[in-house]
Amino acid sequence: MSSRTIQVSPFDLVVFGGTGDLAARKLLPALYQRDRAGQMPEEARIIGVSRRPLPREEYLSFVREAINRHVPPTERNPESVEHFCRHIFFCAVDATGDTGWAELATLLSSGEEIVRAFYFAVSPDLFAAISQRIRQFGLVTPESRVVLEKPLGKDGESAEAVNAAVAAVFQESQVFRIDHYLGKETVQNLMALRFANRLFEPLWNSTHIDHIQITVAEELGVGERAGYYDTSGALRDMVQNHMLQLLCLTAMEPPDAFSADSVRDEKLKILKALKRIDERNSETCTVRGQYRNGSVGGQPTSSYLADIGESESDTETFVAIRAEIANWRWAGVPFYLRTGKRLAARRSEIVITFRPISHSIFDHTAGRISQNRLVIRLQPDEGMNLEVMIKDPGPGGMRLRRIPLDMSFAETFGVANPDAYERLLMDVIRGNQTLFMRHDEVSAAWRWIDPILTAWRSGNRRVHLYSAGTWGPSAAVALIERDGRTWLEDAD
């Protein structure tokens, strides 16, 4: 048994965007799984909200369909789906008008102690208007919380505006800004690895670490999200949030406790210590790419332009960055970040390469002594590899080689990891903000991203094209090779 399931308190979860894509793909399947695991109390209610009136029965069909499509067949049966449906309600509400709010107020449980969570799974343009209505109709109780989906703004200024509008209605302790990467099992494991083991901490600094690579590679293209993506690009879509969160958890000082503010204080310090990238150095420290047609997993795929139905776009679907953290622990250790769509494989990992040994006692016949590496695999096949040098077995001479001490979490524990949303949704109900971003963290992340965006805009450099199914433009290889290093897949 790897973990215990403790039931959460009774709650009403109001999902704005209840008939949307996120609700269908992530929220409803995650809540279904938690219900199946016995974590949702009988009184728990999920109230789907959308503008168009819908009889409850029709909304239930939407929910059943979402579960059939997005939950593996081995994890569903008619009884568990029907059990879950007992929690489901629907209310038509006009987010920007007055229609439906009184009905929603009536539908909500009156008990002050019942957790009331509002999930904004809609465009951020609506966050302010919905928050205002929630206040106007007196829906905020002491046990209320609000969950904000990304994107939180498209730059620092717009993010501030969203945060301010929400802060006019909810206290910071009630605001849950989702970064679903923080709900991934292996991302949390990173904290266990660093702070529940003696082994790594003495080595976790510039004296022993040569450099760190963080890769989040996807095989998928932009899919149905062309409209959003073309105004966003990989820097805003992945780096401002997911990649920087991974960097923070890898680099932060040990917090004094595993509590929301202690963890977030430490992450904030890292974001503030990131060396600025702007017009002066963006050319050497960043690479932007866009996929053209190619082949992924043996299947021909179209170009980004064809996917979005445009003849021209300068939006990046790939970005690589050489980042540095100006503090005592990390000075001089580059963090190479890389993310992109339509790459050679779906692979997310953090690779920590240690410095070479200080002196070899072996002569040249032993072969090269490779640097130790710790590879933390976030997905797929979550686990880690600690790569160490050993003697090649056999009666020959002393020949050395590097082998991985490989640990696959799924194999070790015999369970599939839950989806990130399962954990995060239950944390919202429990009121635990540790795995959510605080207002000042989001602002600090934008303060680092904004000058890069400005430099790109003013630099007049077009995106580098790369063939789908590769590891991105050759400029990304040059970015790391200029420092005499290589990306993991090119390493020996």
Residue appearing with tokens 């679907």: 317
Among 447, 448, 445, CA closest to 177:
445
Question: 35 vs 237, which CB is nearer to ligand BG6?
Answer: 237
**Count of chain residues binding ligand BG6 (CB under 6 A):** 2
Query: Which long-range contacts link 160-169 to residues 24+ away (Cβ below 8 Å)?
Result: 160/443, 161/128, 162/124, 162/127, 162/128, 163/439, 163/442, 163/443, 165/127, 165/128, 165/131, 165/132, 166/127, 166/128, 166/131, 167/439, 168/131, 168/132, 168/135, 169/131, 169/132, 169/134, 169/135, 169/140
Minimum Å gap between C-beta 218 and ligand BG6 is 5
By beta carbon distance, the residue nearest ligand BG6 is 237
The answer to the question of residue 316 lying near ligand BG6 (CB under 6 A) is no
Question: 47 vs 238, which CB is nearer to ligand BG6?
Answer: 238
Minimum Å gap between C-beta 289 and ligand BG6 is 15
Residue 292 assigned ligand-binding role: no
Minimum Å gap between C-beta 229 and ligand BG6 is 7
Question: 143 vs 185, which CB is nearer to ligand BG6?
Answer: 185
The amino acid at 172: E
Does 208 participate in catalysis according to the annotation?
no
Q: Partners of 216 in the beta sheet?
A: 339, 348
Q: Take residue 355 and report the two structure tokens written for it.
A: 């410095």
- Site for ligand BG6 (CB under 6 A): which residue of 35, 185, 210, 218? 218
Contacts of 191 (CB under 8 A, 6+ apart): 249, 258, 263
Residue appearing with tokens 């399931």: 5
Residue 341 assigned ligand-binding role: yes
Q: Take residue 320 and report the two structure tokens written for it.
A: 């690589």
Minimum Å gap between C-beta 187 and ligand BG6 is 10
Are 178 and 148 in contact by the 8 Å Cβ rule? The answer is: yes
Question: 104 vs 320, which CB is nearer to ligand BG6?
Answer: 320
Question: 369 vs 410, which CB is nearer to ligand BG6?
Answer: 410
State the DSSP H helix or E strand holding residue 80, giving kind and residue range, or none if neither.
helix 78-85
Question: 366 vs 488, which CB is nearer to ligand BG6?
Answer: 488
State the DSSP H helix or E strand holding residue 176, giving kind and residue range, or none if neither.
strand 175-177
| Residue 267, CB-side half-sphere exposure with 13 Å CA sphere | 31
Identified catalytic residue from 83, 87, 208, 242: 242
- Considering Cα of 316, then 320, then 324, then 329, what sign does the dihedral take? positive
Residue 180 assigned ligand-binding role: yes
Question: Reduced to 3 states, what is the DSSP secondary structure of residue 430?
Answer: helix
Residue 278 assigned ligand-binding role: no
Minimum Å gap between C-beta 237 and ligand BG6 is 5
Residue 218 assigned ligand-binding role: yes
CA distance 432 to 115: 13
Residue 267 assigned ligand-binding role: no
Minimum Å gap between C-beta 159 and ligand BG6 is 15
Are 91 and 100 in contact by the 8 Å Cβ rule? The answer is: yes
Question: 143 vs 179, which CB is nearer to ligand BG6?
Answer: 179
Minimum Å gap between C-beta 231 and ligand BG6 is 13
Question: Per 3-state DSSP, what percentage of the chain is helix, strand, and coil (rounded to 5)?
Answer: 40, 20, 40
The answer to the question of residue 419 lying near ligand BG6 (CB under 6 A) is no
Among 175, 224, 218, 166, CA closest to 472:
218
The answer to the question of residue 237 lying near ligand BG6 (CB under 6 A) is yes
- Annotated binding-site residues for NADP(+) read 51, 150
Contact positions toward ligand BG6, by CB under 6 A?
Answer: 218, 237
Q: Catalytic amino acids?
A: 242
- Annotated binding-site residues read 51, 150, 180, 184, 218, 237, 341
